[in-house]
Amino acid sequence: MYANRERYRLHFFSLLLMLCCTTGFAQKQKVWLDADTGNETDDVYAIIRLLAEPSVEVVGLSSAHFNNADLVAFEKWNQYPTKNINTVAISQQLNEEILRLMGEESIVHPLGADRQIGRAWGGQEPRPSAATDQLIGVVKSLKPGEKLDVLCLGALTNIASAILIDPTILSRIRCYALGSSYNTQTGVWSKNDFNIRNDLNAFDYLLNNPGLDLTMMPINVASPYRFARDTIYTRVNDKVRTQHLLKKRWQETNPDDKVRTLWDLALVEAYLLPRNATIQDVTTPPDNMKRLIKAYSKLDEKALTDDFWRVIGQLKN
């Protein structure tokens, strides 16, 4: 009798352990990151932070262009000569470097579109690319009930193009994007910022698409999330290659800036730590289809910063 009870007890706890493990794996959210990594300093910080997060599964890292009017008016954009510049190729090169340093080259990292959807006066013609092909493929491979979270740090060309090419993916994705401004007191939007200007057609398409689960990180909400250059230089370990890349990127891109807002990192940290960020339902701009989307309205900057340094300090590669 005792032996039977003991076997039952062991069997019960074995089943419980299997259930816990299975549930844990099932809860690991799949994430795709789309980044204009070559644009400035903060994308590198955001990518490294997301790749170091054990609670999510990064299934894709695509490159985004950062085409803007200054490229035809000035000789340099940050450290890059603008003559014959290929912005998406710069982003792609950095993405591959980060994945190599972190030993994550098995993550798909396709090249994105080299320009906005449509034309300068509007339009919704998609820009097919390796990024749209592989993003659609990942969504199609999801298990029943699974959704893919797509985090967009730059122009929204790739995600808009993927939906335009295959609208059936809409119900299987949630999009988190950095861009625009939103005044919570007046309810007034502004599209007058870098990311949105680089593909206003894509942003309008996403806003006008009632099937898309869209959460925006307005730049006015991300603005207080600032890091000091001297803190970065002091706290990173130059002997750890991924940590050193954070310092190197600041030195290459914005060496004279003593303080910078790390916009893209704000979105990634807020996504990973929802308890330290406030989201509210908001109405789309008046020039778009009237519907509710979500927007971040407040961040706990200290908690998000402390989390960043906690994770970065654990990097060994």
What is the DSSP pairing of strand 29-35 with strand 56-63? parallel
Q: Look up residue 148 and give its two tokens.
A: 């893919």
**242: Cβ contacts below 8 Å, ≥ 6 apart:** 48, 98, 101, 102, 315, 317
pLDDT digits (tens, 9 = 90+) for 228-278: 999 999 999 999 999 999 999 999 999 999 999 999 999 999 999 999 999
Which single residue is written with the structure tokens 């309008």? 204
pLDDT digits (tens, 9 = 90+) for 15-67: 444 444 444 445 789 999 999 999 999 999 999 999 999 999 999 999 999 99
- Residue 132's Cβ-count burial label (10 Å; 0-12, 13-18, 19+) is buried
What are the φ and ψ backbone dihedral angles of 62, each rounded to 5 degrees?
Answer: -105, 155
Element (H, E) at 139: helix 130-140
Domains of the chain: 30-312 (3.90.245.10)
User: Cβ(115)–Cβ(198) under 8 Å?
Assistant: no
